[in-house]
Structure 1
Amino acid sequence: MGSLPLVLAGPVLRRVDARHVCVWIALSRPGDVTVTVFRGRETSTGDGTSAGATVGTQQRHTRKCGASLHVAVVDVEVVGLPPLTRHCYDVVVSAGGQSKGLKALGLLADGSGVPKALALGYANGMLPSFVTPASRIEDVRLAHASCRKSNGPGPDALAWLDDRIQAGLTDLGKAPQQLFLTGDQIYADDVGGVLLPMLAELGKDLVGTEQLPVGGANLDATYERFPALRRQDTVRTLGRLSTTDGHNHLLTYGEFAAMYCAAFSPSAWRALKAPGDLFQPPPSDAALTHVTMTCAACCARFASGSSCSEASRVSASPGRVTTASSFRREPPSGPHGGPGCTGSPRSCRPAAGRPAPRSASRRTGAGACR
């Protein structure tokens, strides 16, 4: 079990209008979350304080969503905020006998981890801010995308949006006022194989060991039973799902929770496995879950770089792997695994196209919005 930071993801600004400011946050421990909204763009002067006038404050206790996953959505009722004006907020987390605002939590300064977290307020000590929606349709500035794809090719679209937000700090006419993600917010089927071990481990730490009904038995949903690149038949044949991109499909509630944390925050990221370590010999009951594997020795031989004659006799039905050559021991395509890759999504830049800017991981872990 790995160590979990107190703040797993967030704060994420949700609904904002003239009378409401909603903030979402995910924690690894239960606690109280207090959000205070101030007029203007201000620096933090302490936990929940700034030099700006307070226009609203609200506290909510987290709701338990897993053994180490506690979420709160704080809806702050504010005195009518004028349209097209900038305001800021602080979030104080009270957990484990301590209360810390965003500054004390280290979220208002650039970090040093991988992926690197950047100051939420775009300057050291500055509180995160937002712009209220414009009253005239010609002044409305919206950003729209579909789903957050952590293994998407090309530069990170949210990093580009981050630059737009930063430019809007001095020019309200350029500042996006709302972001609409009208897909499912994350990709649950088309997941990068190199991410799956991290997501499975993180999901287990967040939620605990889960079980899935397979072959008339309830099996522990571990990565060893459901490894990367071996899930297509599980989701198509056993789960009856329609996806054609399910080789790394998220299966458990914990994996879904982990993906949300990883897609929108660098806090919970862990070291990625090398491509050659993605496959391990299957457990004794692998026949129930590895429906394309005809011999237990195949994975072991593949892990050592050898081929297995049995693998070439696997059924060639749709969605099934047919030969050992399908499991090439080489870095995956896309942003990860290229020259100079250190496992960090920000260090793996495409050869062509706009490189990810400095702000690529301010609110995000990796990927692109499509």
Structure 2
Amino acid sequence: MEAAAGTASPVLAGPLLRHTATDRMVLWLASREPLDLMIRVTGRDQPQQHYLDRAIRGDELTRLRVGSHAWLHLLEITPDLPLPRDTFLEYDLGIVTHGTPRWVQDWAPHLCPGNRARPGFVLKSRLDRILHGSCRRPHHPAADGLLRVDEELQSAANPGEVPALLLMTGDQIYADDVAGPMLHAIHCVIHQLGLYQEVLEGASLAHSRELTSVANAYYHRDELLPKSEFNEELTERFFGGVRKPVFTTANAGNHLISFAEVIAMYLLVWSPTPWSLVTAAEPVSDVDELARYRREQQAIDAFRAGLPKAARALANVPVYMIFDDHDISDDWNLSALWETTAYEHPFSRRIIGNALLGYLLCQGWGNQPGNVRDLLVPCRQLLDADRDHHELDKATQDQLIDNLFHFRHWHYSLPTHPKLVVLDTRTHRWRSELRRSHPSGLMDWEALTDFQQEIMGEKAVVVVSPAPMFGVKLIEMIQRVFTWFGKPLLVDAENWMAHRGAASVLLNIFGHPRTPGHFVILSGDVHYSFAYDIRLRHKRNGPQIWQITSSGIKNEFPNGLLEWLDRLNRWLFAPWSPLNWFTKRRRMHIRPRLPEGREAGERLWNHAGIGEVWLDDDGTPSAIRQLNADGGGTVFQPGRDV
């Protein structure tokens, strides 16, 4: 096959190390051509011990073609011998050409840690150390928290210090908020790799090829996004009279639209290699837009410079992922009225479906491949079909998107110790019984019942909820007030306590006599970090609960505003405050942990980075830290009751 010009390695991104177990090893990678591969797994300290050393079999490899010169590969490898736990392992991928393999050190040396010749990992016997975080926004000026993950992996002196896994708990990309230079890079990658284009319906442009040539290609895509008869009900008036359609974010001028754009975005955030396909350009002429483009270019250049280390981190620790709203679009499924507007219009339906298909192929596929296997049949029908014009078939694409919207198993769990349960809080929504415009519950009754059955009888459990189950009371109260005035979209009014039914069922789960004794809840979403110790009031043998929030990996909350919110929250919701009785959490006894390095009593930590949790044998956190992307960090110490 003819290769696209501009890069020496046939591999565009990866490998990303995904699901690992004694009998299974899952790797994801993207390449310019379909690859024949070999795999080696050895002990790092016993290189003569080979657990794998052979060609990857056909039943262990799934390929999907996404462009003329672009293929996705998922490797589900069964070791010849069970992989040992709690010891350093190294793995190597050989790209076989004319019978001769080229190994990772030849085609991606940046993935090899230190002076090692290949990537590696430790398969842990229990979840003793977890790294977690969300919200990786490439053009935010903060440093990239994945670089801190790489630093922690490099500094681990023995297997016990290596993290058991990395949890990316939402917003791994920002499909709805793309910098101008990143969008230009996306278009370069699409062109160089021939990523498949598509026919568009219900839009002012008929084909995705037009996205690079229309007058609104940069910073004005919100004007291309769909309008509908419901749009007036679902717009919000910002200060200064600017109107915001429900489908978009306030920064939707470069919202991703086509499937090709979504795939290119993933390649560019996972790997430094596709950036060799990007040319230098400034495709805007307006003075203000050019100034913005150049500011964003500085941030994107810094992000790009860190990608070799970020890619190395993703290759050297098992990584598990779940979506949140920005992986698809801001306010995704926030209310029943939002859903009606977005899904009944063919253009917005396609945009959401393309982003969800990108999540499936680049994130969800590697978590538990068996869970999504049924979706691969229609994916093959769409992507692997013979085509003369490198264009996706519209009817097949629409049918696949329908399948994605009806899919009910994005959530998953791992039989680790303690058990890990990852929740889908986006597609199982409990719609408001009061008004269609009010926020939906993050999970409906059926999904919450399934969650309860999943954890019943466990002694301890680690739960990933992209949005905190127990957040900052003042911020939740502000969201409640805006909802009462009919403006939930203005403040992203979605939290576990925003819907009476979902909040009640969730709190009842914690009070069930067979519920786990220890709950560790890991969350992100909010762009600041905090930790709470939580108990049920008036229940002597109730569970111990820890809400631990780490956000963002590469994003931060406006610092001055967060200072005031933190301060007002302490004043208004002090332990003696009657306002506590107006919250749905009045049955809960909450003790915030105080971050070291902050003034007395302050609870919120506002630095991009990665969260770290150490767990004892019984699932109790022995240490809760936030590791700053640019060095340093904090320890969350137990504080006062609220």
TM over 0.5: yes
User: For each residue in 1:154-189, what CA deviation from the matched residue of structure 2 results, as whole angstroms up to 9, or x when unmatched?
Assistant: 111000110001011x23232112111121421111
Tell me which of 23, 26, 37 is aligned to 2:27: 23
The residue that corresponds to 2:6 in the other structure is 3
Tell me which of 110, 113, 126 is aligned to 1:121: 113
Structure 1: how far apart are the matches of 2:45 and 2:31?
26
The residue that corresponds to 2:187 in the other structure is 200
Instruction: Quote the offset at 1:126 in angstroms.
Output: 1.6
Matched, 1:188 2:175: yes
Structure 1: how far apart are the matches of 2:206 and 2:270?
35
Tell me which of 175, 179, 196 is aligned to 2:162: 175
Matched, 1:228 2:218: yes
Tell me which of 244, 253, 256 is aligned to 2:259: 253
CA pair 245-62 structure 1, distance change in 2 beyond 3 A:
same
Matched, 1:164 2:152: yes
Gap regions ≥5 residues in structure 2: 229-244, 315-551, 556-642
Matched-pair contact (CA < 8 Å) for 1:266–1:363: no
CA pair 2-346 structure 1, distance change in 2 beyond 3 A:
same
Query: How many residues are paired up?
Result: 288
Structure 2: how far apart are the matches of 1:37 and 1:128?
10
Instruction: Quote the offset at 1:224 in angstroms.
Output: 2.1
SS at 2:173's partner residue? Answer: coil
* TM-score after normalising by structure 1: 0.68
User: For each residue in 1:100-129, what CA deviation from the matched residue of structure 2 results, as whole angstroms up to 9, or x when unmatched?
Assistant: 221332x23xxxxxxxxx342322x52100
Instruction: Quote the offset at 1:200 in angstroms.
Output: 1.3
Matches within 5 A, 1:236-247: 237=227, 241-247=247-253
CA pair 258-195 structure 1, distance change in 2 beyond 3 A:
same
The residue that corresponds to 1:337 in the other structure is 298
Structure 2: how far apart are the matches of 1:233 and 1:97?
53
SS at 2:149's partner residue? Answer: helix
* TM-score after normalising by structure 2: 0.41
Matched, 1:37 2:41: yes
Tell me which of 132, 141, 146 is aligned to 2:123: 132
Tell me which of 87, 108, 126 is aligned to 1:85: 87
Aligned residue identity for 2:283: L
Instruction: Quote the offset at 1:222 in angstroms.
Output: 3.5
The residue that corresponds to 2:66 in the other structure is 65
User: For each residue in 1:182-232, what CA deviation from the matched residue of structure 2 results, as whole angstroms up to 9, or x when unmatched?
Assistant: 214211111111111111120233314444332384462332225221212
Instruction: Quote the offset at 1:368 in angstroms.
Output: 4.5
Structure 2: how far apart are the matches of 1:94 and 1:241?
46
SS at 1:25's partner residue? Answer: strand
CA pair 216-328 structure 1, distance change in 2 beyond 3 A:
closer
Matched-pair contact (CA < 8 Å) for 2:272–2:308: no
SS at 1:73's partner residue? Answer: strand
In proportion to residue count, which structure has more helix?
Answer: 2
Aligned residue identity for 1:154: A
Once superposed, what is the RMSD of the aligned Cα atoms? Answer: 3.2
Structure 2: how far apart are the matches of 1:192 and 1:216?
22
Greater C-alpha radius of gyration: 2
Matched, 1:75 2:76: yes
SS at 2:150's partner residue? Answer: helix
Structure 2: how far apart are the matches of 1:173 and 1:345?
31
Instruction: Quote the offset at 1:35 in angstroms.
Output: 2.3
Matched-pair contact (CA < 8 Å) for 1:88–1:129: yes
The residue that corresponds to 1:278 in the other structure is 283
Gap regions ≥5 residues in structure 1: 43-50, 109-117, 280-298, 306-324, 348-355
Structure 2: how far apart are the matches of 1:260 and 1:155?
19
SS at 2:15's partner residue? Answer: strand
Matched-pair contact (CA < 8 Å) for 1:24–1:71: yes
The residue that corresponds to 2:619 in the other structure is none
Tell me which of 49, 52, 66 is aligned to 1:53: 49
SS at 1:202's partner residue? Answer: helix
SS at 2:42's partner residue? Answer: strand
SS at 1:142's partner residue? Answer: strand
SS at 2:291's partner residue? Answer: coil
Percentage of matched positions with identical amino acids: 24
User: For each residue in 1:247-306, what CA deviation from the matched residue of structure 2 results, as whole angstroms up to 9, or x when unmatched?
Assistant: 1111111111111111111011044645xx222xxxxxxxxxxxxxxxxxxx6xx3xx5x
CA pair 165-70 structure 1, distance change in 2 beyond 3 A:
same
The residue that corresponds to 2:412 in the other structure is none
CA pair 219-84 structure 1, distance change in 2 beyond 3 A:
closer
Structure 1: how far apart are the matches of 2:196 and 2:64?
17
